[in-house]
Amino acid sequence: MTKKSVKEKKAGTEGKDQPAPKRRPLERIPDLYIYVGLGVVFLFSLYLRVYKPMSRVLVGDSVLFDGNDGSYHIMLAKSTVLNLQRPWFDPMTFFPRGTEITFGPFNSWAIAILSYMADLGTPSMHTVEVVGAVLPAVFGALLVFVVYFIGRELGGRTAGFMAAVMIAVLPGQFLSRSLIGFADHHAAEVLLSTTAMLFFILAFRSGAGKLTFAAIRRMDLTALKRPLAYCLLAGLFLGLYIDAWSSGHLFVGIILAFVTVQSIVDHMRGRNADYVGISGAIAFFVTLLLVLPFVRAENGFGFTLYSLFQPTILIVGIIFMLFLSVLSSQLVQRKMDRSYFPLIVIGSIVVVFVILMLAVPQFTGALTAGLKIFQPRTGGGATISEASRILERGSIQRNFPGIVPILSPFWLTLIALPLLLLRYRRDDSRNGDMLILAWTVIILALTFAQNRFAYYYAVNVAFLAGYLGSVLLEKTRFLEVEDALVRMARGSSKEAPDQNRAIINFVVVAFLVVLFVYPSMFGSVQGVKIGSFYSQNQVGPMNSDWYESMYWLRDNTPSPEMGIYTIYERPPKGERFPYPDSAYGTMSWWDYGHAIEAVGERLANSNPFQQGIGSIETGVAGSSPFFLAQNESEAEAVAANLDVNRSLYSNIRYVVTDVEMAMGKFHAMAAWSNINPGTYHFSYWQDGQPIMIYRPPYFSSMVARLHFFDGTEARVQEGWTIAYRTDGQGGVSVEPQKRSRNYQELLDSVNESLGRGYAAAEVVSQSPIMTSVPLEALSHYRLVHESPSSITSSGQKYVKVFEHVPGATITGTASPGTDVVISVPISTGRGRSFVYQKSTAAGSDGQFSLVVPYSTEGPESWSTNFDVGPVGPYTLRVGTVQYEEVRVPEGAVIAGSSISL
């Protein structure tokens, strides 16, 4: 063997015997740059939420608020500023009862405090409006930082950053509720609840093995300091969250579900479970302290109000969580079989619930009633668009758009749940994974039941998308590419990344952007752009016709001598609020109740709390029975039954209608009374096209007679006889028969169709403004104002305001059976005119009487300053005799006086 070969062998042997070199730690982009990136994402989120839609909200000196509740929240904030207390009872809505305010105080006080800061201690009402409009957008944008840290807990900084980007750009319910002008509590809810969950995750992670009863007895501050701090912060934000939404105990339930599962898992795996119960109990105690100041014992255990329910569930939760920790500790000390623990826990839950059900049935009743939130709405509730199931109306794609529906983040992120569960099983130290699983599953169930909870679930989708992205990038060794790039940036030319790996990672990042980010920003549904980049399209303030009509109502109707910013005390239980005699109600559909109060400054009969809607089926007076009433007598009965101790003309003084009530919202009125909308209108297919049919009950309804026919007599302009044929198997076909303007001809056609064996026949119309049946004039409703915008070729307006009056009675004598007709031309002041006409016949005794609602002498200083009215006196025709100068003073209309001829 040569020397060279020996030397080579020796060198090879030495190399083999040497230990393998240690793998150097991967270099990462400094956190500072990540936070700068988050700042950019935050600013972009603000750009989407404030700048793009701002011109539709801040109009001149006015602030136009979005949603049903926005103006009401601003009203509460102004009242808080003016009185330095938040009102809790509102007698100016759900008149003549009033209602306990369900909205939490957080939003009102946040707007008030920030308004004081903005105006250096003397806030103007305009400042309150601007702050209230911008605050939800700021809350929505701040969520970027919170979601980042949750994502980082799940899958590192990559997951966190992607989660932050996702929450910034996701459209749908969350974006729309965190835009400028949406002055509601939803953005605050999401920010506060998500922040609370972040600190719960940190508290449980840092407390494992440290936050024990033994450590507390030793006062081991080194071990206790961090988990206790997180517990206090978790309790702080959970308390603020419940202060923002009275039903915020939803997240109390999520935490209790997690604590139960995690305690069982820890105990079965032989780990100390003290930290779970102690962490939860401390946080709940802090929450309790923040909730107690707003608890109103007179609300009993109402779970939608600030009542005894919230502190009770928190106290029960504290006791239960401490019980779990003590039980686990005792079973371990006694060396009892671990399987006893879950059995005792389940048994204890059942026993305690039975005890509570017997001892405090009001609490358990409210608890089980609250669980109905997981159930899809039915009946009238199903007509609330935000309460429909997310599987309907393309809601998934609207909230979580994908390139194609099957690739929606809503579906894709569900892949993360089994991955997290598997990781949790492998690594029993990741208790945060179980909390995230419990959180996600419960909110997902809520979202399936009602699509509005997508504004909560957006957070879960964001961090789950981030987690999935991090898992994918981990497979492509993204961190090694990052390491090489960082070293290159620091001047190490030898650390160039592997080109193939860099290209693969670039493609994966681009793929994630196209899969998740691009559809969220630029997606569309059925040609409608719903992506967050078009956020200005998602701002929908109350239209100008409603604003104009509400301002008119405020400035031109008698004062009810009640103020919207006055603090009113709730009446004693069982008693009604003592309204002044000057108070009166304004009837409209419930959607508009807050606008009537907060903008029009008048008392609303129904409101977006879904109060005052009523039902024909149950016989409860309200807006649904009123607007569906088939004649004036039925409508008057509804008005009288609102409060039998008050005048029906005070119960309902004004009626506000709009074209949506007469058309798009009409089906909802029927649904709230459990009436099939097909009773009033339906569509059928003819020659490949849908034909809309309006049936006689539609035209007889009060909402149609008021909005499209001005409450005057209406003749059949063009009717259409249709006949129905059954196939014997439940199917019904519609067969057109005859068109005519002659009502008698149409009735003859109906009889002819029935004689030919059709199952049924009736006279219908294809237009809601062309009645298929003659309509009598209304005696007690007069048009007093209408908005500028026309919605029909005949000039009918978008919003109309009617006054409910006793009317003046015109009496006289004539030959029995003589036709009597009274009429007067009406000018609306909007370039539209019509004739109010009413007919009757003299009775067998020769007497006749006609009640008319319009005054010919103009408004009085004490009455409605109407801008719609007669252009001259009434004309009365009695048989062939005509009286040209029948004048009716305003006092006679309001007092219900008689005028004898």
Which pLDDT tens digit goes with each residue over 248-297? 999 999 999 999 999 999 999 999 999 999 999 999 999 999 999 999 99
Query: What local confidence, expressed as pLDDT, does residue 718 receive?
Result: 87
* Over residues 139-161, mean pLDDT: 97
What are the distances in angstroms from CA 783 to CA 197, 636, 787, 828?
A: 54, 17, 11, 8
Place of tokens 């998308």: 465
Long-range contacts at 640-647 (CB < 8 A, ≥ 24 apart): 642/95, 642/96, 642/585, 642/605, 643/96, 643/576, 646/96, 646/579
Task: Give residue 530's Cα distance to chain centre.
Answer: 18
Q: In a 3-state reduction of DSSP, which class is residue 848?
A: strand
pLDDT at 24: 65
What average pLDDT score do residues 535-558 get?
A: 94
The residue that leads in pLDDT, 492 or 116, is 116
- Contacts of residue 787, defined as CB under 8 A and 6 or more positions apart, other chains included, come to 545, 546, 548, 549, 797, 798, 799, 800, 830
Can you give the three-state secondary structure of 101-112, one letter per residue? CCECHHHHHHHH
pLDDT of amino acid 15:
43
Q: How far apart are CA 164 and CA 105, in angstroms?
A: 29
Cα-Cα-Cα-Cα dihedral of 665, 627, 789, 65, to 10°? Answer: -60
Helix, strand or coil, per DSSP, at residue 818: coil
Dihedral sign for Cα 707, 710, 713, 715, please: negative
Could you tell me where the DSSP H helices lie in 476-622? 478-489, 499-512, 518-522, 544-556, 593-598
- Name the strands in the sheet holding 781-786, side by side, starting at the edge strand that comes first in the sequence: 603-604, 585-587, 654-658, 799-804, 781-786
Q: Which burial class, exposed, middle or buried, applies to 762 when counting CB atoms under 10 A from its CB (0-12, 13-18, 19+)?
A: buried
pLDDT of residue 570: 93
In single-letter form, the type of residue at position 137 comes to A
Is a pLDDT exceeding 90 seen at residue 462?
yes
φ and ψ of 499, to 5 deg: -60, -45
Name the region of 476 (left: φ>0; alpha: ψ -120 to 50; beta: rest).
alpha
Phi, psi of 702 (to 5 degrees): -60, -35
- Overall average pLDDT of the 413-435 stretch: 92
Peptide bond into 96 cis (omega under 30): yes
**Average of pLDDT values for 28-57?**
95
Range with lowest mean pLDDT among 17-26, 68-77, 98-107, 805-814: 17-26
**Residues 105 and 86: beta-carbon distance below 8 Å:** yes
Q: Which of 585, 629, 553, 634 is nearest to 801 (CA)?
A: 553
Residue 628 carries which side chain, given as an amino acid letter?
A: L
Total residue count of the chain as it appears in this document: 901
Beta-sheet pairing, 732-740 with 781-786: unpaired
Taking the chain, what is the end-to-end CA distance rounded to the nearest angstrom? 145
Instruction: Read off the pLDDT of residues 329-370 as tens digits, 9 standing for 90 and up.
Output: 999 998 898 999 999 999 999 998 999 999 999 999 988 887
The predicted model gives 843-854 an average pLDDT of: 95
Q: What confidence score (pLDDT) does residue 878 get?
A: 95
User: For residue 515, how many C-alpha atoms fall within 13 Å in the half-sphere facing its CB?
Assistant: 20
Q: Report the relative pairing of strands 524-525 and 881-886 from DSSP bridges.
A: unpaired
Structure tokens at 894: 């309001």
Which 8-state DSSP code applies to residue 293? Answer: G
Strands 58-59 and 62-63: antiparallel
pTM higher than 0.85, yes or no?
yes
Rg (C-alpha) for the chain, rounded Å, is 34
Q: How confident is the model at residue 12 (pLDDT cuts 50, 70, 90)?
A: very low
Work out the pLDDT band at 810, boundaries 50, 70, 90.
very high
- What secondary structure letter does DSSP report for 149? H
The type of residue at 622 is G
For residue range 720-779, what is the model confidence (pLDDT) as tens digits? 999 998 877 767 888 888 999 999 999 999 999 999 989 899 999 999 999 999 999 999
Rounded Cα gap, residues 720 and 738, in angstroms: 6
